[in-house]
Chains A and B, each alone.
Chain A
Amino acid sequence: MDLKRVKDYIYWLYYQYLLISCSYVLEPWERSMFHMIIITVVAMVMYTAYVFVPIHVRLAFEFFSQMFGSQPESTVLLMN
């Protein structure tokens, strides 16, 4: 029963997506082309995010900790 509700909800979401993107009125081949484009774009965005975001976050973290943080560890080490 619950599964059916979830299915209905997903179908409803898909319907809303069709309406808002106007792919509701496209012909089937156009619609599949539109879906492909959307899926490709989303996939690429996600992949890019997956690959680059962690690197950038780490770099940013290092940059800010240098700016605001205490003395860099290396200098601290030297002083010891």
Chain B
Amino acid sequence: MKRGPENLGGQPRANGCSFSKHGAGGGLKNGYVRGSAGADTHSQIHRIVHNGGLYKRPFNEAFEETPMLVAVLTYVGYGVLTLFGYLRDFLRYWKIEKCHHATDREEQLDFVPLYQDFENFYTRNLYMRIRDSWNRPICSVPGARVDMMERVSHDYNWTFKYTGKVIKDVINMGSYNYLGYTQNTGPFSEAASKVLSQYGVGVCSTRQEMGNLDKHEELETLVARFLGVESAMAYGMGFATNSMNIPALVGKGCLILSDELNHASLVLGARLSGATIRIFKHNNMQSLEKLLKDAIVYGQPRTHRPWKKILIVVEGVYSMEGSIVRLPEVIALKKKYKSYLYLDEAHSIGALGPSGRGVVDYFGLNPEDVDVMMGTFTKSFGAAGGYIGGKKELIDYLRVHSHSAVYATSLSPPVVEQIIASIKCIMGEDGTTIGKQRIQQLSENTRYFRRRLKEMGFIIYGNEDSPIIPLMLYMPAKIGAFGREMLKRHIAVVVVGFPATPIIESRARFCLSAAHTKEILDIALKELDEVGDLLQIKYSRHRLVPLLDRPFDETTYEETED
């Protein structure tokens, strides 16, 4: 954050927006800018970059509006399914039809009903019909291609039978294997197996007691060096890293400002901590600033004492929207209001930035500006576990106070070795340029795939650099049809519906990988084109709304100090 004040110092620009990388050129007021940045030169495209001065690179993030007709038809579809759901529930109630789903027991009928809320209705009557597209077992390494087990259902997805056959070499567009380190051959797995024969698998104790191996220490210094922070700590599970460390950092009398789309682990951690939680609109800096202002002006409810700590919790790349956090603005706000920042880089570490160091690297910021850098080894590194990086005092505090350090078994040594090997590869310390190439390959793949999908007319969400690509399907029947048609064409995709997304915004989600070659992507794109025509899911009218249902309250960073 060396540049912010310089840029802003010259003229008191309010919320400038511009295309130029620095945005220092014109004193633009908040508003729409018409232009043709980006791949497609459509006259209606608006691009907007808030506080352009804070960004060193163009930030193109777009969420196309749902076409009205599609929204109406989607609701009609849900209406039909709901009506039939009621019919089926009626039949089950009167024992005309056998009920496969869990029901309240006879003797518990007068207690609080367990299976009558909307989620259960949805699971029983809507999700069940298209369940075959979810939870498919695989039986090989989930690399660029994967083997899947064939299964059939004779009772409309209530139970499945395995036919014993294997669907070979399905193109894998669903794994979080961003850098393609999920392999069972090659130098990493050899290194891991060597460590396995030296250390064994289990550690059978926690970090605080006897489970502290030299491998763990080696990993932590390496991670700290990789992230550019003073110190780091590794945990055996990414989910627990979030849900156990947030309670160690904040407690009663503290305030957590959380993005509305944060991952379940962050939500759980925030709730366990006992701190007050306030939610801001997804990636919306106006909403965040308003909450910060209110928190400082009014303090705690009733007593009006100031909050002990204010912690802003955001993710690097959001796994459902494919959006990238507006980190420069978040950091500016954090500094202005003297709060703390917790950044979950689960999906961005390794996958973003010219040297694979996550969003901080992507925006060219200083890692010290982020107080708590959290991330997982599950995705880009093809291993398991999570880490937290930050100041030495923070990590020392966590070593003593985090539940994950006190009560959870430490990382298995072969896993540690896989992480070490892959981080070294990314940093180029293994003497090759493979890591660099993979990062480049991933960003090329991302841009190529996004551009082609956009050209074909699909509605896709998110930032143009995010390797997670949500493709909107909307209608419930198309979720099932899309999964089945793609698998028929030997492409494995992840489809997402309610409750992971709003009910009308069902989508398919592609995760690109450096392991995908151009040929694989071209095959996938060809099949996608075909399925897109068959299912009529090329909804795009090329009308990008600039991510703004937000008010144009001014966010000013003039008082920002270094």
A: which residues have CB within 8 A of B? 15-16, 18-27, 30, 34
Contact = CB atoms under 8 A, between A and B. Distances in A.
B71 interface: no
A23 B481 contact: no
Interface stretch (B39-47, B445-453, B472-480, B543-551): B472-480
Contacts of A20: 73, 76-77, 475, 477
B28 interface: no
Contacts of B534: 15
A78 to B, nearest CB: 56
Contacts of B475: 19-20, 22
8 contacts: A19-B535, A21-B76, A21-B77, A21-B477, A22-B81, A22-B476, A24-B477, A25-B130
- Which secondary structure characterizes the binding site on chain B? helix
Nearest to B80: A22
- Which secondary structure characterizes the binding site on chain A? helix
A30 B82 CA distance: 13
Contacts of B477: 18-25
Contacts of A18: 477
A24 B536 contact: no
B537 to A, nearest CB: 9
A19 B423 CA distance: 46
Contacts of A25: 81, 129-130, 476-477, 480
Nearest to B129: A25
Nearest to B533: A12
Contacts, number: 43
B134 interface: no
A30 B156 CA distance: 12
Given A20-B477, A24-B480, 20 more contacts: A16-B536, A18-B477, A19-B481, A19-B536, A20-B73, A20-B475, A21-B76, A21-B77, A21-B80, A21-B477, A22-B78, A22-B81, A22-B475, A22-B476, A25-B129, A25-B480, A26-B129, A27-B156, A34-B80, A34-B84
Contacts of B78: 22
B84 A26 contact: yes
Contacts of A21: 76-77, 80, 477
Nearest to B157: A25
Nearest to A16: B536
Contacts of B87: 30
Nearest to A15: B534
Contacts of B76: 20-21
Contact of B84 (A15, A24, A30): A30
